[in-house]
Structure 1
């Protein structure tokens, strides 16, 4: 019996490491999407190259996380600094992939959340650096979330989509009435609808509330640090993504805690 338990533990560690490596590889591709999509470049051609000197990168230059550390954050050919965003995205994706496996195992739910997390990383970093959300990413992702809902709780999935669509439509409409500039945009609406498709109604509400809490805290800190007062523009999609990830891993606990308050 002890040998079986030990074997199970070894397999769990093996798969956790395997998902970490897989996440790092996927994260490397997500970096390509994050960089090229806003520039309307092909995700396939040309092959990966240094954006400064244009030299094509070799296989050794493209090993996720490791290459950045080995090269000390510089291009092998021209010595230009490599933005730290690359290892950050790779490491973040790797960690979240591994944690997803550890929580949900080798299940369809894991696949659903791995896709969801990958999309969240892409839209978050693009919104953070470029201030734009691409419907070509979130709308197909929302459809994928709906398809997964067919194999799970379709009613909850549809309610999640409707909830986010209605609530963000109202928020955007009101923000346009009270703010000439800024406020929420259509990108937040489509991203929210995609989140509703993947999380459903129950966890969608958790993520919705958390996104505003996280956004408010981060917004106050950013304004205090930047000393720009209320004029600081803050993209909201990254907060929605952080809240969604928290809902994935802790949604049941948060929901239970909320119910126990009453």
Structure 2
């Protein structure tokens, strides 16, 4: 079963690559079929095999010999790993599908935010509608818990954005980040959403400090916050209850 889940994860990762490339360009993720982004030649079934096609073709397009971004196999491998982790945590269950969908939305959101500093409304809306339907079906958490998570996730970041605008005269939090965390709240509920927000602050702060120390970024440079929200949300999804229980037993 582990091997099957990994193969499914690789295939899903291949589709997420299509989403990451096409959604910011407002192109259909269904049609036309996959093509080389440089010469526009249609990819053969052999070229569509996740990871292995990249290795067999030595990272180059069969038609134009152009270099294929290493992000493609990286996203496929990352997706397979994260989906396998969700499976190992929740087993074969309706909840697993629920969290795999959330994981896919998080991966696409993080990649697009890194490239374009946006989190597309269509992606967030898809996550919102899916999360709402799953909640109504009782997939994982009670509906009201999801609603409170929605309000906490979106409301807390919206409050930060408003305060930043009034005090610092600049936008402290992007609208995409606000909508993403509101959607995440539907999936996680208020407790895990609160943890995800706290984790994102620590992860973002440590990463920002390291970027400044290594001079990869300068003070005042823009750093996309979406990826930190994504990491915090994924950690909360898998290990949130254990982290909260540990904290309460250790400090309260």
If the TM-score is normalised by the length of the shorter chain, which range does it land in?
over 0.9
Bigger shift: residues 225-234 or 191-200: 225-234
Secondary structure of 2:195 counterpart: helix
Residues 141-172 of structure 1, C-alpha deviation per residue, up to 9 Å, x if partnerless? Answer: 12321222230312211111111122111011
Match of residue 171 from structure 1: 160
1:119 lines up with 2:105 in the alignment: yes
Aligned CA RMSD, in angstroms, stands at: 1.4
Match of residue 207 from structure 1: 196
Secondary structure of 1:76 counterpart: coil
Measure how far apart 1:51 and its partner are: 1.4
Structure 1 unaligned segments of length 5 or more: list them: 1-14
Distance 1:119 1:49 in 2: 23
Match of residue 4 from structure 2: 18
Q: 1:245 aligns with which of 226, 230, 234?
A: 234
Distance 1:228 1:124 in 2: 19
Distance 1:228 1:177 in 2: 26
Match of residue 58 from structure 1: 44
Alignment size in residue pairs: 248
CA contact (8 A) 2:155 2:182 kept: no
Match of residue 43 from structure 1: 29
1:70 lines up with 2:74 in the alignment: no
Secondary structure of 1:54 counterpart: coil
Radius of gyration: which is bigger? 1
Structure 2 unaligned segments of length 5 or more: list them: none
Residues 173-228 of structure 1, C-alpha deviation per residue, up to 9 Å, x if partnerless? Answer: 01222344452111111001011011111111111100111010111112222354
Measure how far apart 1:87 and its partner are: 0.6
Measure how far apart 1:33 and its partner are: 0.7
1:98 lines up with 2:111 in the alignment: no
Bigger shift: residues 171-180 or 82-91: 171-180
**TM-score, scaled to structure 1:** 0.90
